[in-house]
Structure 1
Amino acid sequence: MAASPSALRRAGNEEFRRGQYGPAAALYTRALALVQAAGDAAAEERSVLLANRAACHLKEGACRRCVADCTDALDLVPFGIKPLLRRAAAYEALERYQLAYVDYKTVLQVDCSLQVAHDGVNRMTKALLEKDGVNWRQKLPPIPTVPVSAQTRWSVPSAAAPGANAPPATASRGQADQAAADMERARTLKEEGNELVKKGNHKKAVEKYSESLKLNQECATYTNRALCYLTLKQYKEAVQDCSEALRLDSKNVKALYRRAQALKELKDYKSSIDDIKSLLKTEPKNTAALRLLQELNRA
């Protein structure tokens, strides 16, 4: 009796766990051949198999093949976290930093809590700053806007951890819809806060950011509110917000710089210097940080 696609996938997962990436890829390929005829009805299953095979290619250093499989997987099921992360890693290995940055940023729209994506964004920011200078953002391809429907999806199981991302049995559709609505509202409030900052109304912006953070704890919202607190000379609050941002993203440059500024004002020069030194490990040519370090050394 011929093996079923699900049996082949399980066998491929087992080979992957054993570090046998070539045999695992071959099993996923056989499973893909069996489900190909089902067309759209098997789109999600095909996407999982392609993402799993992409993981094998990435492990073996076949980065272009990894990119191809991830792209096909995303065509079938848009905004899947696993294929986005694997394609980003492959782009990074190929030194296609702009495309890797876009994929990492897209992942964070789907799930802003993923540290691996935050770390990827930081690495790509550093690489692009060195490569293209301060105007590197102007050369980026457009970053797609992830629809709310994609944010409510559960990630497909991966080769490395089959079934690891399955939704808990108690999670209801109503809860997922509410979570998506909260995230969308949080994003709107943050944008309103950003507009108020541009107008110089930092006190009102703090209110908007605070409302946003009640719905979704996002690193950028904390650093934005910290900037407002700095302007309002509320330095202890700025330190607290930057610390919260660093809890989410330990190498966040804005959080380190703004906390260093606030600590300087609080006359905690040692801690301020420590933050600047941590920042310079990520961005050794950051002129604002180097200038602040000189000021601190004279204090």
Structure 2
Amino acid sequence: MAPAAARVSELRRAGNEEFRNGQYCQAAALYSQALGLLEAAGERNAEEASVLYSNRAACYLKDGNCSLCVKDCSIALDLVPFGIKPLLRRAAAYEALERYQLAYVDYKTVLQIDCTVQAAHDGVNRMTKALLEKDGLEWRQKLPPIPSVPVSAQRRWDFPPAGSQAAAPRLKATETASLEKQVPTAAMIERAKTLKQEGNELVKKGNHKKAIEKYSESLKLSNQECATYTNRALCYLSLKQYKEAIQDCTEALKLDAKNIKAFYRRAQAFKELKVSNCKRVSDPFQDWDREAMFSQASLNLESTTVEFPQAFYNLPLCKTTTNLLAEVWYIVKGDS
């Protein structure tokens, strides 16, 4: 039995290493091997098996296989009830599957176990919004029962040593953040896209305030979508929140340095804020012959084109200067 237990621990550690390296498929295979060994050896180590199922569930969640994640988390919780990690992972999987009621129940269960887990608080807030939109004011009546957590499983009463109470919530939040790494899972990215589409539909209806909420939720899940920033910037422009629009366009340009919508919308925002074009571009141009630079680009402001002249990108200019030129271009074209 001892050699089998040692081999199981070895496989689990190897799986953990693969997971940390982002090799989720390989990690899942190693956890499966470890589970197979446990079963073959006839060992009834519920705690070890629960950890392995929970770890494999994390791999499935990262790969966007939410149904298998739910299945493994449920097995892990059957073996060792009220485990925070499998509950959080199952809640995230339910959320990605748009089974918001079940996700809400799991997030609430986590808070009964430990009320300092920030991921659970955030999850409850998201699910409350989603359920309110889906089921209206009666959404609570449609919830499945929330399990009652026995006192023996609750951790919120385990106070830290004197002098460290203030740091406890912060430490727990850090621990949870490291548990559910900041790299978006496939499920999170898919949910982010759905939220963006919902935001787009609200924009079509002229509901810019609600659309901003949808785009903001989307960006919390995945902040690598340039269009989400530019779409939210458009909403901010409509609501005359120009500083916020500038900030979103700037974030979009970090992702795509030649994004036309970001340049144009940021230029519009600067224009509304009454920022002088000359003031904005004077410093970067100090060392350049302006006339020569504009003639090189063959800039024709009377042209009907709305595209920023590609010739600008071929000039020996720094990125900041080129971007500012683009903004001036879009301001001018916006006046025509």
Per-residue deviation at 1:36?
2.1
Equivalent in 83, 103, 112 of residue 109 of structure 1:
112
* Structure 1 residues 151 and 10: alpha-carbon distance in aligned structure 2, compared to 1, 3 A threshold: same
Residue in 2 aligned with 1:142? 145
Is 1:125 the counterpart of 2:128 in the alignment? Answer: yes
Equivalent in 142, 151, 164 of residue 154 of structure 2:
151
Once the two structures are superposed, the pairs formed by residues 1-299 of structure 1 within 5 Å of their partners are 4-37=7-40, 41-152=44-155, 179=157, 281=213
Per-residue deviation at 1:149?
1.1
Per-residue deviation at 1:38?
5.7
Q: Secondary structure at the match of 2:45?
A: helix
Compute the RMSD of aligned alpha carbons. Answer: 2.9
**Any unmatched runs of 5+ in structure 1?**
153-175, 183-216, 219-276, 283-299
Measure the CA separation in 2 of the matches of 1:39 and 1:108.
35
1:151 aligned partner, one-letter code: Q
Per-residue deviation at 1:39?
5.8
Structure with larger Rg: 2
Residue in 1 aligned with 2:265? none
Contact 1:85 1:103 in 2 (8 A): yes
Per-residue deviation at 1:35?
1.3
Contact 1:36 1:46 in 2 (8 A): no
Task: Normalising by structure 2, report the TM-score.
Answer: 0.45
Measure the CA separation in 1 of the matches of 2:95 and 2:40.
34
Of structures 1 and 2, the one scoring higher in RCO (CA 8 A, sep 6+) is 1
Which digits, 9 at most, give the CA deviation of each residue in 1:214-260, with x for residues without a partner? Answer: xxx99xxxxxxxxxxxxxxxxxxxxxxxxxxxxxxxxxxxxxxxxxx
Q: Secondary structure at the match of 1:4?
A: helix
Task: Normalising by structure 1, report the TM-score.
Answer: 0.51
**Any unmatched runs of 5+ in structure 2?**
160-167, 170-208, 215-336
Measure the CA separation in 2 of the matches of 1:82 and 1:15.
18
| Fraction of identical pairs, as percent | 73
